[in-house]
Amino acid sequence: MKLAVVGATGMVGEVMLQVLSERNFPYTELIPVASKRSVGKKVFCGGKSHEVVGLETAVSIKPDIALFSAGGSISLEWAPKFADSGTVVIDNSSAWRMDSSKKLIIPEINANKLTASDKIIANPNCSTIQMLVALAPLKENYGIKRIVVSTYQSITGTGVKAVQQLENEYKSKIGEMAYPYPIHRNALPHCDVFMDNGYTKEEMKLVNETHKILDDLSIRITATAIRIPVVGGHSESINVQLKKDFELETIRKLLNESPGVVVQDNPENNVYPMPIYAAGKNEVFVGRIRKDESQKKTLNLWVVADNLRKGAATNTIQIAEYIVKENLI
């Protein structure tokens, strides 16, 4: 099992190496791949040192699986080259998500759609992943009419430059800006770029990816995405209108028994999900479960997850684990 990690020296790539080690992924050869300036550097995974190679070298090695987290332009150019050599590519960028010929996969929801002919597989956006891990069981049991979601997103979703900006601002130090405004003591209603309809790309990803993953264009969805000065993970306030009525205890039990979900919902004892406790964990945490008293058959949820783990690295590796388990390579 030759496994390539493309973008191994980046923020998500480093987390991929950690998760691979923690989950004892069954590779026999690990191929860390990065840009030319990183070739020859060493990365560590599974207690061993591995030398970084370039993209052309990695293609020539013909890995069985390649985990991509190097940005959309790299994925568009290089994923087909890996796929043509027989490699299964699991891509963490937005490059292939809405391509009708590519599967968009959250293993807890739709991994069973994968076949041996799928050579480029898309990993959804981090915000979409955590929302749907929580909502898919509700759709299956009650049906969903409408979703209103507001996200409160970690700066790690922007990358190293954003983390550095926040650290500089903590120290009152002038440095490179990842955002058009300070992020320390602030909240920016601006994730990704604005589109003609007034929404950002991040907000429209929540709409379009949800329709594709749940295979249901009838669900009405509206989103607002906010960047906040948090490092540990993304939080979401979700208002979901169901097709059938429900009892709260049944909802709690259903979510608690759903794969990848941890219910933390005891507000009397101040128990609810928070990004500071989700950091470094692979699960999606759900709390503040309550009925919307303004509208029938409607539920409010607070959903938190580590965006670099379940929102990126862990979900990608879970797809790879499914491919290995089902002998799809």
Going from the first residue of the chain to its last (329 residues), give the mean pLDDT of each consecutive group of 10, the final group possibly shorter.
97 97 97 96 95 98 98 97 98 97 98 98 98 98 98 96 96 96 98 98 98 98 98 96 98 98 98 98 98 98 98 98 96
159: CB partners within 8 A, 6+ apart: 10, 11, 178
pLDDT of residue 90: 98
Is 240:301 a contact under the CB 8 Å cutoff? yes
Q: Which CATH number fits domain 2-123+312-325: 1.10.3720.10, 3.40.50.720, 2.40.37.20, 3.40.1280.10?
A: 3.40.50.720
Any idea what DSSP says for residue 313?
A: I
Q: Which residues are catalytic?
A: 126, 234
- Residues listed for the chain: 329
- How far apart, in whole angstroms, are the C-alpha atoms of residue 174 and residue 186? 17
- How far apart, in whole angstroms, are the C-alpha atoms of residue 63 and residue 75? 16
**Boundaries of CATH 3.30.360.10 in the chain?**
127-307
The strand pairing partners of 149, in sequence order, are 223, 238
**Boundaries of CATH 3.40.50.720 in the chain?**
2-123+312-325
- How far apart, in whole angstroms, are the C-alpha atoms of residue 129 and residue 107? 10
Is 304:283 a contact under the CB 8 Å cutoff? no
pLDDT of residue 232: 85
| β 120-122/220-227 pair status | unpaired
Give the CATH superfamily of 127-307: Dihydrodipicolinate Reductase; domain 2 (3.30.360.10)
Residue 97 tokens read as: 């998500």
The strand pairing partners of 53, in sequence order, are 33
pLDDT of residue 98: 98
